[in-house]
Structure 1
Amino acid sequence: MGDPESCYYFAYGSNLLQKRMHVNVPSATRSAIGKINNYRLDFARYSKRWHGCSATIVPHNGYEVWGAIWEISAEDLPSLDLQEGVHQNIYFRFNTNVKLPDGTTKECYVYEQVNKPTTHFKLCEFPADRQPSHVYKDVIVKGAEESKLPDFYQKLLQSVLCNGYKGDVDLKLVE
């Protein structure tokens, strides 16, 4: 993945926002935006940190997930694993090729929830037990804008139904 002292990470959830990304990975530098094909964005597992369901990607032909590509120090990868709950079998990390707007690809790490949702809903039709909190959605939407994701995708993220929680969150909380 290039320089052995750094690697690339594809963020599609709260880590789209630089302020959020720097909580646990201060070395992160936004490198580009891109998409992974044949995956869809979903919300499945309740997060104590966010008081609602957290984002994941799910293999699904014909869909795409847009996100930010961050270059991070290889030394920060364990912190990112901890944040994502790899040690608790919440997410797992894998490598994938991310397609950049110019058509080139970049190999990146990405995280996917271990327990995949089995029922597919449109983002604007999630049932109550699959909805993120307003605060979590707002971080994702602000991060998508900050990352300059395509307008159509930002509108898609804005359409996500929320569970109503607008209170405080603890970004240092390990689930």
Structure 2
Amino acid sequence: MAGAQLRGVPEECPNCGSPHLEPQQGENTAEPGVLWERPRCGDCGWTGRPILLLDLEDGQPIITREGEKTHEHGIMTVPLRTIVKPGDLPIEPLKKTETGPPEPVVYFAYGSNMSTARLRKRTPSCKPLGIATLPGYELRFHKRSADKSGKCNAFASGNGNSVIGVLFSLDPTERAKLDEAEGVGSGYEHAMVTVINDKGHRRKVLTYLATPDYIDDSLKPYGWYKDFVLVGGREHGLPPEYIAEYIQSVEAIEDPNRARDQKQRGTLGGLGR
């Protein structure tokens, strides 16, 4: 970490608090022939301000003396990996520029998708990043589902309540699968919301909210669905008082479709419930 401090790179990601920062290199199409480098978080995909690193045509490093400070963090305009000193061998130009993989989507799950195993069936790349809080919203089981039961919704109550859920990173190519599983256009819609993660940092993330025409406060969840929410909340260590008040206390009903009920409960059994 001491080396990172000397280079002006933060010890942890200013977005999610992760210590897994790594250098990412690439060319800017607006300024070809110059190699840039920036810090990137291996957990949430945050990237810092890029710095000039190398002139690809003559292989000479580009180093400036002054640093600069942004509203996010301070970073010196020097390479993250190597500073060439007098007498060092010249740097060979890179034959192929590294651009890195696409940045992952960070998704806030607050219902049955808090269960990692359940979400992984829909998005195999998903990786939990910790719990987070969505202020000004309240967990309700009032979203009308195609099976006539109530599913979870983070309802904008405007009061002092909060929804607590789990942050996941996932490959952006899998977002369409998640959209389909969530029923975007048929009761749920995308929303970018600001949550507070378990390190106290605010960040904008993707979630799904029920559309007004699909909200019915008379609905109740099926027992197996409520159990998925319970399993996911306990798996990630949501506060026991939150689980007791907003999940466990909710009245559930029996699913009239016996085959579906048995299938879902079989999946729950596989999760060790």
- The normalised TM-score by structure 2 is 0.54
Structure 1 pair 154–62 and aligned structure 2 pair: CA distance change class (3 A) = same
For residue 101 of structure 1, report the CA deviation from its aligned partner.
Answer: 2.9
Q: Which residue of 1 aligns with 2:196?
A: 99
Residues 55-78 of structure 1: CA distance to partner in whole angstroms, max 9, x if unpaired?
111111211000000011111111
Pick one of 132, 136, 142 that aligns with 2:221.
132
| More strand as a share of residues | 1
Listed as ranges, the matches of 1:117-156 within 5 Å are 117=215, 129-156=218-245
RMSD: 2.1
Offset of residue 118 of structure 1: 7.2
Structure 2, unaligned stretches of length 5 or more? Answer: 1-44, 48-101, 265-273
Number of equivalences: 159
Distance 1:136 1:59 in 2: 22
Output the amino acid matched with 1:43: F
The 8 Å contact of residues 8 and 70 in structure 1, kept in 2 or not, is answered as yes
Q: 1:53 aligns with which of 129, 147, 150?
A: 150
Identity of aligned residues (%): 26
Cα distance in 2, alignment partners of residues 15 and 113 from structure 1:
15
Aligned with 1:62: secondary structure? coil
3-state SS in 2 of match to 1:162: coil
Out of 131-140 and 89-98, give the one that drifted further. Answer: 89-98
Residue in 2 that maps onto 1:164: 254
- Following superposition, the deviation at residue 169 of structure 1 comes to 5.1
- Structure with higher Rg: it is 2
Residues 94-136 of structure 1, C-alpha deviations (whole Å, 9 max, x = no match): 11111123321232101001126476xxxxxxxxx41101100
Shift of 1:47: 2.4
Q: Secondary structure at the match of 1:154?
A: helix
Q: Does structure 2 retain, via aligned residues, the 8 Å contact 1:5–1:75? A: no
For structure 1, which segment, 143-152 or 40-49, has the greater mean C-alpha deviation from structure 2 after superposition? 40-49
Pairing partner for 1:109 from 175, 198, 206? 206
Could you say which residue in structure 1 is the equivalent of 2:105? 7
Q: Per the alignment, in what secondary structure is the counterpart of residue 22 of structure 1? A: helix
Contact 2:106/2:168 (8 A) holds in 1: yes
1:153 to partner: Cα distance: 1.1
**Structure 1: distance between partners of 2:177 and 2:251:** 30
State TM-score, norm by structure 1. Answer: 0.82
Q: Is the 8 A contact 2:133 2:164 kept in 1?
A: yes
Q: Does structure 2 conserve the Cα–Cα contact (< 8 Å) formed by 1:68 and 1:147? A: yes
